[in-house]
Amino acid sequence: MLGFETIGNATLIAIDGKPILATDPWISDAAYFGSWGLSYSIPPEQLNHIQECEYVWFSHGHPDHLNGDSLPALSGKKILIGDHVGGRIHKELTAQGFNVTILAERTWTRISDNIEVMCLTDYFQDSILLVKLGKRLVINLNDAVDRGWGAEVARVASQYEGNFLLKLSGYGDADMINLFDEDGERIEPWAAKKYPVGRTLIAPMRRYNARFFIPFSSFHCYRRQDSLWGEAYTTPINAYAEGFELPGSEVLPAFVRVDCETGEVTELRPPPADRSPRDPKAFGDDWSEPLDKEDRKKLVAYFKNKEVLASKLDFVRLRVGGSELTIDLNNKRSKYGVTFEVPRGSLMTAVEYEIFDDLLIGNFMKTTLHGLDSLYPWFTPIVAKYADNGRAYSKAEVLEYFTEYLRRQPKSFLLHQLENQATGLFRAMVPKDAKFYGAAKRFYYVLKGSPPPLDV
């Protein structure tokens, strides 16, 4: 068979007579300091298929994609990754003894007689994979949002018919949503609206000439006792097609086997995974444990080392074990900042291994915003994307970091940045209930050269 299977959270298994490639195989039980578990178990057949693959591709460093506990089971595989600026994944996997190949950016690479892959990266340290199986194209966007690669993907996709689109979707809990205002009131996440998921799929389906959508990169549950509240915001597996109305296109089940030669689609029915609550102490977290003197020094150094953060925020405050540590970033004001209430164990692990995003996405850490509406566009990108993963800490290094992405694709990068500026200004100036908001948004999509969503 020439085709593929989807299973787990974000695992695509490409098959050319035998399993050839597995993407993002999260096959252990836990991620994000034990906060996340798989929603559905991976059946023995698909586990065997992953083991039989010659190649494994990792999209990015989040542990529901590149899972440290799953790595020992992948020993001996040929690891493929995107050309991320900073090269952290390549360096660390190579140091662990893995055979790692960096895929040439936006270039087809043949991995079997009938399978080719193309990888595209972006400045958020995400990457996507196009998989060509004979005459069919699978577009694996996983968690990535178009940050300059969308036009190229659309161009490639236009050359094929019957494309399959795989991407993160759902109500929107897969980020820091454990947010509070200064009065201690929870900031309701967008996921609470439970917006019909199918409606959000229409625009990308049209843009990428996709005939089939497969829910993907969305299958986790909350397992830690201090993050179980997040379960209320996860997306049921039967909700992905709600509101999907696009003639000639279809939302397939999340877990399928597709024969690209015959077009036959077979639903896989993995059993639900264990969802029993887990004690944070099993993952080294005791909420009463205080910071010691050396911890405080490391925390100050960690945040002050990110120079650009001081131009955007005034302070970072940490509440750990009943005490506080306030890190003054710029000695100017004290209006704009963020407070994190977090157990010592995971905090110090995140700082030592530079994986602060794992704390944010785990959603057991409580975050209070001061003078801010969100951790974007400054805190999360500067700390987790550019510094922790991109290895860009100083202002000069961040400038060099972006210059490299500009050098790679000048036109698409600049257009993306201009679009960001324009849409940000428009949203700031025009309320959504303004009479001409919808018309202006439709005009924007016309200028962009892609059809607007049906709800615009």
Instruction: Measure the CA–CA gap between 213 and 253, rounded to whole angstroms.
Output: 9
What is 410-447 written as a DSSP string?
A: HHHHHHHHHHHHHHHHHHHHS-TTSTTHHHHHHHHHHH
Please list the residues that pair with 7 across neighbouring strands: 11
The residue from 231, 257, 275 where one domain ends is 275
The verdict on 170 and 228 lying in the same domain is yes
Query: Which uninterrupted H or E stretch holds 13?
Result: strand 11-16
Listed in sequence order, the DSSP H helices in 23-129 are 44-52, 88-95
Number of domains in the chain: 3
The verdict on 93 and 142 lying in the same domain is yes
The verdict on 264 and 161 lying in the same domain is yes
> pLDDT tens-digit profile of 149-188?
999 999 999 999 999 999 999 999 999 999 999 999 999 9
pLDDT band per the 50, 70, 90 thresholds, residue 436: very low
The verdict on 217 and 240 lying in the same domain is yes
10 Å Cβ neighbour count for 352? 10
Q: Has residue 206 been placed in a domain?
A: yes
pLDDT reported for residue 320: 98
Nearest one of 191, 96, 136 to 12, comparing CA atoms = 136
The verdict on 144 and 267 lying in the same domain is yes
Query: What CA dihedral angle connects 104, 68, 236 and 267, to 10 degrees?
Result: 60
The verdict on 239 and 95 lying in the same domain is yes
Please list the residues that pair with 437 across neighbouring strands: none
> pLDDT tens-digit profile of 219-254?
999 999 999 999 999 999 999 999 999 999 999 999
The verdict on 294 and 429 lying in the same domain is no
Instruction: Measure the CA–CA gap between 176 and 24, rounded to whole angstroms.
Output: 21
10 Å Cβ neighbour count for 411? 10
The verdict on 420 and 377 lying in the same domain is no
* 158 half-sphere exposure, CB direction, 13 A CA radius: 8
Check: CB of residue 299 under 8 Å from CB of residue 306: no
The verdict on 207 and 131 lying in the same domain is yes
362: which 2 tokens? 């785990």
Q: Give the structural domain span for 315.
A: 282-398
Check: CB of residue 120 under 8 Å from CB of residue 106: yes
The verdict on 138 and 172 lying in the same domain is yes
Mean pLDDT calculated for residue range 124-133 = 98
pLDDT band per the 50, 70, 90 thresholds, residue 420: confident
Q: Has residue 378 been placed in a domain?
A: yes
The verdict on 201 and 307 lying in the same domain is no
Check: CB of residue 119 under 8 Å from CB of residue 129: yes
Q: Has residue 403 been placed in a domain?
A: no
Mean pLDDT rounded to a whole number for the chain: 92
- Residue holding tokens 């296109």? 249
